[in-house]
């Protein structure tokens, strides 16, 4: 078998993901790697080595003995820890690889301690605080989110989640205990509907960059921004569904059994474990629902954007492309 070391004529394009992003399978493979919690255990020296390899390779450096797989492994480690714009190492809790362990812990506790107002307030606040860390860590380096906007989003999302959870807790008091277990999910869904549009309100007002199929920038579009944000909100809510809808049925059965009656303190660990097993799959699969490089018909854009595109080129353009975000 021929050696795959980087002395051949073909070079890897490290600016694009390894797998075909036009297929759900390719996107799923990409996000399974990106959200892999094991990346959190990578040492600082390993991350520094991965960064050196990726940056050197991009500058044309040759690494004798390194195969394509070795380069891709370095790229995946690099992507898991370094900001794509600033190139700085990201705070560990804000990385995509921290999503599963952090969300399984927070979600499991939200679903365990949902009966008292103080517990609801604490875990909804904790959840939105973590979301704020993720949003800040993954902010754009070119157009950073102002601290004031981050703060407003944090306050509105936290307030919305608390109000939803406390309000629904009152409503379901007279209903089946099983119904009450779904209150945390309604709160999380409400918070996503508030938090994401608020965080990206500047995009809704001013638009996001749109491109033709060759990557030439055509301007900005508010219609594309609304489409992108809708996709993200939908995928985030769907991402929470398995971990917040399936465990309540299981826990409702287990709590009637002798084991949890004898060891009630095992309730939280069991729920955290159940949520974790589901999130390991739900997180990458829901991130992969829509292409990162999304598209829409030119006729679906606002009239101002359509007019600008017509002025830019004589050749008819049927679709435009844009980065939907995460």
Instruction: State pLDDT tens for residues 169-210.
Output: 888 877 887 888 888 888 888 888 887 888 778 888 888 888
pTM of the shown model: 0.80
- Residue extents of the structural domains in the chain: 24-89, 96-323
C-beta atoms surrounding 299 within 10 Å = 8
Which of 144-158, 200-214, 262-276 comes out lowest in average pLDDT? 144-158
Q: What φ, ψ does residue 11 adopt, rounded to 5°?
A: -115, 145
pLDDT higher than 70, residue 5: no
∠ Cα 53 54 57 (to 5°): 80
Residue in the block written with tokens 């508030």: 194
What's residue 140's pLDDT? 59
Which of 10-24, 141-155, 284-298 comes out lowest in average pLDDT? 141-155
What's residue 65's pLDDT? 85
Which of 10-14, 53-57, 105-109 comes out lowest in average pLDDT? 10-14
pLDDT higher than 50, residue 1: no
Which one, of 35, 182, 160, lies nearest residue 103 by Cα?
Answer: 35
Which one, of 139, 119, 121, 142, lies nearest residue 131 by Cα?
Answer: 139
Instruction: State pLDDT tens for residues 126-139.
Output: 988 888 888 778 76
């Amino acid at each position: 078998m021929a050696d795959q070391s980087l002395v051949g004529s073909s070079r890897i394009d490290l600016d694009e993901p390894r797998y075909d992003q036009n297929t759900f399978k390719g996107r799923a493979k990409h996000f399974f790697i990106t959200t892999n919690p094991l990346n959190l255990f990578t040492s600082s020296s390993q991350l520094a080595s991965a960064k050196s390899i990726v940056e050197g390779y991009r500058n044309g450096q040759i690494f004798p003995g390194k195969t394509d797989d070795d380069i891709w492994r370095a790229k995946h480690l690099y992507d898991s820890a370094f900001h794509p714009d600033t190139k700085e190492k990201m705070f560990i809790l804000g990385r995509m690889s921290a999503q599963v362990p952090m969300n399984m812990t927070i979600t499991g506790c939200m679903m365990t301690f949902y009966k008292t107002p103080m517990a609801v307030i604490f875990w909804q606040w904790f959840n939105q605080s973590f979301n704020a860390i993720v949003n800040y860590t993954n902010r754009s380096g070119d157009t950073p989110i102002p601290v004031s906007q981050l703060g407003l989003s944090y306050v509105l999302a936290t307030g919305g989640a608390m109000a939803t959870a406390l309000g629904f807790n009152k409503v379901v008091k007279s209903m089946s205990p099983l119904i009450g277990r779904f209150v945390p999910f309604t709160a999380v869904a409400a918070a996503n509907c508030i938090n994401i549009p608020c965080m990206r309100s500047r995009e809704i007002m001013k638009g996001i960059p749109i491109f033709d199929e060759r990557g030439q920038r055509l301007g900005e579009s508010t219609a594309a921004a609304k489409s992108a944000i809708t996709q993200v909100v939908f995928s985030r809510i769907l991402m929470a569904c398995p971990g917040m809808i399936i465990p309540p049925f299981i826990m409702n059965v287990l709590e009637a059994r002798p084991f949890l009656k004898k060891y009630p303190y095992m309730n939280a660990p069991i729920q955290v474990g159940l949520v974790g097993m589901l999130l390991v799959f739900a997180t990458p699969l829901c991130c992969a629902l829509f292409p990162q490089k999304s598209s829409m018909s030119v006729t679906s854009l606002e009239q101002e954007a359509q007019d600008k595109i017509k002025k830019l080129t004589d050749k008819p353009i049927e679709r435009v492309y844009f980065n939907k975000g995460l």
